[in-house]
Structure 1
Amino acid sequence: MKTDTVYKKAFNRVAHMMRDGQLAGQLPSENELRRRVGVSRTTIRKVLEELVHRAMVSEENGIRAVGRPANDDDCYPDAETTPRATHVEQQFMEWMLRGDTRPGTSINELDLARQFGVATNGIREFLIRFSRFGLIEKRPNSGWLFKGFTEDFALELFEIRVMFEVRSARLFSQQPDSSPLWAKLAALKLSHIELLEHMESRFHDFSRLDNRFHRLINEASPNRFIDDFYDIITFIFHYHYQWNKQDEKQRNQAAIVEHIVFIDALESRNAARIEIACRAHLDSARETLTRSLLVFDEIPTG
């Protein structure tokens, strides 16, 4: 049976809002809650039904209110709220970081499949996709080889990223009021504010939020080549960012503030304001990447 990732992600989002005090007492209307979460009315109704079933929400005479306290155990696990390809990508990046993976490291499909809890064909599809960029190479007999990447490679890629994202930001601001992108953007803004309020304990969560934000911007200009390109963008930039642990919390906090400024600019629909906010954030991202590349080069290989 196909996993209902949209519903489960929405359920987790509402549960987190309850846990963090964003929802207290009487709940807002279905339409308002749907807008804040960024999902359809059908999905939010399904979420509310399950919350009532679990006694996390009480319902009397058509009025819903927060019930028992929500906790992390109430939420669906990450593996059930992300598509298989995204799950494999996240697990692979974490595996590389935990193991201090360096150029020349061998990659075994079966071992990774067991560690990630997925079928080997899911691992193979992921590796094939990235092998086109020259970062991973299939070995003649069996297995794969991580080849690594250079500063020139990453910076050239960044130039393309700037062109794509500035264009997408402009197109985003031209979306009609009826576009679902605005509800998604509003929900993401709340996620940014929530994370900013809990930076002391949750600053590591920024990587995923950053990915969600930039992918949403690119939804304004659907293009299969841009979507494919952004897979490698995510891999390289987040991979290098996480090598550099120096001032990680402060860097993530600054990036969240830049995102919020960017979101405000998009909501203003002012073209000049949008371009300034977009380029300012991308300039910071380039600087962070450059520093991370230097740290990466300094890490001992043996």
Structure 2
Amino acid sequence: MKMSSPHAVPHYFVPGPSKWPMAGGIALLLTMIGASGWVNGAAWGPALNIVGILATLTVLYFWFGDAIGESEAGKYGKNIDLSFRWSMSWFIFSEVMFFGAFFGALFYARTISLPWLGDLDHKIIWPDFGAQWGESPAGTVDAYSKMGPFPIPTINTALLLLSGVTLTISHHALRAGHRAKTAFWLFATVLLGATFMGFQVYEYMHAYSELNLKLTSGIYGSTFFMLTGFHGFHVTMGAIMLSVVLYRVMKGHFTAEHHFGFEGAAWYWHFVDVVWLGLYVVVYWL
């Protein structure tokens, strides 16, 4: 089934005042305050974190709904399309810096701090400290076991790589104007992402119950859960984005020539795939 071309828009669209940026900032602030309280054992932390997350999702629903309505009303032209592309590019760059900070913390802990704490001078203070990454420091935290690359992390790597392929097939189908094929492969991508998250939940349950590996398990536990946990959050958000795009594809919102809503979500998903490859090598193998 072919998709029709949109109306040509010769002018630059200037949106009116919006309450959503301020509302989104407040919602994110509540989310982070709640998360901070949660990890520090505050009784109000979990409830405030959930309230903040729900508020953020509500803001995104109405904010993106306004943008979709403006797009479907034919108000967006080439200049708006270009501004969206630059905005998404800078957003992904900020995400690169976000994960770069955690990869940097992992690098510093493993290659600088660990050898330094295990040298001859510090043997006087910590004689039982082996300076081996993933080993439980004697007398500091409860004993735990490292998380290896098999089988779940390797399965998840295959799932995300496959999801990148199905998403690319869907994109090519959209550019060819075939809506049914686009929707099918996009649904397959969302399903693979959901399966990835299911395996990660099982991995976390295994880590807590059988390996005694927790967020409080020294620098190894904190870097492991911060890196994999934030990546899992990004996979979840990416799957939600692709689900919304799938709904819009089924509603006939995109055309072969104009579909940046699809492309922006696809860029984000491919970025998440690349981050996971780095995690898979650095966190699980090295």
Q: Which structure shows the bigger proportion of residues in strand conformation?
A: 1
Same fold, judged at TM 0.5 (above): no
For Structure 1 versus Structure 2, the TM-score category normalised by the shorter chain is under 0.3
TM-score normalised to the size of structure 1? 0.26
TM-score normalised to the size of structure 2? 0.27
- Greater Cα radius of gyration, structure 1 or 2: 2
